[in-house]
Structure 1
């Protein structure tokens, strides 16, 4: 089993809540748009098996992917907390509550604000970045992060198959980076994975 029972229980509650909320909610901004479990499991395994220790998440929502990432960092004994950015204060507050419920609140630094502006102010370095917010602004966020990335770095982005036009700019920006290789895993909405060994 990848997760402790207590964390898994919280996640299963959130998965059910997210499905119900998104099915009835017409306003995209009020949807949770959480990762599918199979994508979250892959994300967790990649971070855990790669022994990542300085992880940045762009797009917290109510904390589903955040919980998976924080659990992976806990499993490898990382001392630095996960940094997670969310522009919606309400969703960030939900994430804080959910992290508390799962016993992982101390393992995450939740930041609220515009992702691009927030990224510009971060110090780094990061050895893994998960892009799961506004796909149009991801190329600019990547540009700002480049000097803050560890040489051995993993870049992850959701929605590679579900929103190919929106994510095309990000994928092109990654493809132009020297030393990076990438692929798309056909799980959930498509997870784009790039690494610089």
Structure 2
């Protein structure tokens, strides 16, 4: 098992809730749009095996991917909290409650606001960024983050296969960076993975 039983119980509750909520909710802003378990497991393993220690997540929702990332950072022995940005205060509050239920609240710093504005004010450095929010603004966020990234850096982005037109600008920006190797994994909605190191 990749995560302990307490975290797994919360994740399974959230997965069930997310499926039910999203199937009946017509308003996209009220959907959870949680990361699929197979994608979340891959993200967890990449962060854990790469011994990432300073991670930024853009797009918290109610905290499913946040839980997976926080659990990975706990496993690597990271001392810095995961920083996770969400524009919806209600979803951020849900994420806080879910992190508390899982015993991971002390490992995450939740920030609320427009991701591009928040990213501009973050000092860094980061050795991993997970983009899982508005795909159109991701290239701007990447540009702002470039001076704040460690030389050895992992860049992850969801929805690479489900929303190819929306994420094309981000992928092009990443693949134009020097010394970057990247690929897209056909799991869930498609996970784009890039490593500079």
Q: TM-score range by the shorter chain?
A: over 0.9
Following TM superposition, the consecutive aligned residue runs of length 4 or more in structure 1 with deviations greater than 4 angstroms are: none
SS of 2:139's equivalent in the other structure is helix
Q: Distance in 1 between matches of 2:83 and 2:20?
A: 28
Q: Distance in 2 between matches of 1:155 and 1:82?
A: 15
Per the TM alignment, residue 25 of structure 1 is displaced from its structure 2 partner at its CA by 0.1
Task: List aligned pairs for 1:150-169, cutoff 5 A.
Answer: 150-169=150-169
Could you report, residue by residue, the CA deviation over 1:46-80 in whole angstroms, capped at 9, with x for unpaired residues?
00000000000000000000000000000011000
Number of residue pairs matched by the alignment: 197
Q: Distance in 1 between matches of 2:81 and 2:166?
A: 30
Partner of 1:3: 3
Q: Are 1:22 and 2:22 an aligned pair?
A: yes
Partner of 1:184: 184
Structure 2 unaligned segments of length 5 or more: list them: none
Q: Distance in 2 between matches of 1:14 and 1:34?
A: 9
Q: Distance in 2 between matches of 1:158 and 1:76?
A: 22
TM-score in terms of structure 1 length:
1.00
Q: Distance in 1 between matches of 2:41 and 2:77?
A: 18
Per the TM alignment, residue 83 of structure 1 is displaced from its structure 2 partner at its CA by 0.1
Structure 1 unaligned segments of length 5 or more: list them: none
Q: Distance in 2 between matches of 1:165 and 1:148?
A: 27
Task: List aligned pairs for 1:16-165, cutoff 5 A.
Answer: 16-165=16-165
Could you report, residue by residue, the CA deviation over 1:99-129 in whole angstroms, capped at 9, with x for unpaired residues?
0000000000000000000000000000000
Per the TM alignment, residue 181 of structure 1 is displaced from its structure 2 partner at its CA by 1.1
